[in-house]
Amino acid sequence: MTHPINDNRDHTTQSPSPIGETETEKCPFLLAYSDGSDAERIESTPEAITAYICSHGLDGDITITDHMDRFVLDTFGLYINRCPNQDFLKGALLPVLIPAQIEAERKAFGMSAMDL
């Protein structure tokens, strides 16, 4: 997958290096890209990341980078596809994201995968 940024850089040959845990704490904001859109600045909190994923994930895939364009995570719709920082993913993001994903599915489809 190429990085959805509107410039001439070739993001297919080498992925940006993933952001580390200590760097996440120092970065006050992240850049979020949904399919075909320009970057949107969001706070680097699990709640802000969750809000962005749940509000844009039904429209397509999302890529989130730090302010230096280093990869943080990407999604397949509402769901995390890749997130190199597993400590952040499991310890901070998923506990906030999973209930919000269930609610977003129920609003969009009348039910959640958890209801099956």
Note the pLDDT tens digit of each residue in 43-52: 999 999 999 9
Q: What is the pLDDT of residue 36?
A: 79
Kindly tell me if the per-residue pLDDT of 92 is higher than 50.
yes
Query: What mean pLDDT comes out for the span 57-79?
Result: 95
Global pTM value: 0.76
CB 85: neighbour CB atoms within 10 A?
A: 19
pLDDT at 42: 97
User: Closest by alpha carbon to 62, among 89, 40, 84, 47?
Assistant: 40
What local confidence, expressed as pLDDT, does residue 101 receive?
A: 96
112 within 8 A of 102, measured Cβ to Cβ: yes
pLDDT band at 20 (very low <50, low <70, confident <90, very high): low
> Residue 14: is its pLDDT beyond 60?
no
Q: In what order do the strands lie in the sheet with 62-66?
A: 40-43, 29-34, 62-66, 71-76, 79-82
Higher pLDDT: 39 or 16? It is 39
Count of other CB atoms within 10 angstroms of residue 83: 19
93 closest CA partner among 38, 30, 40: 30
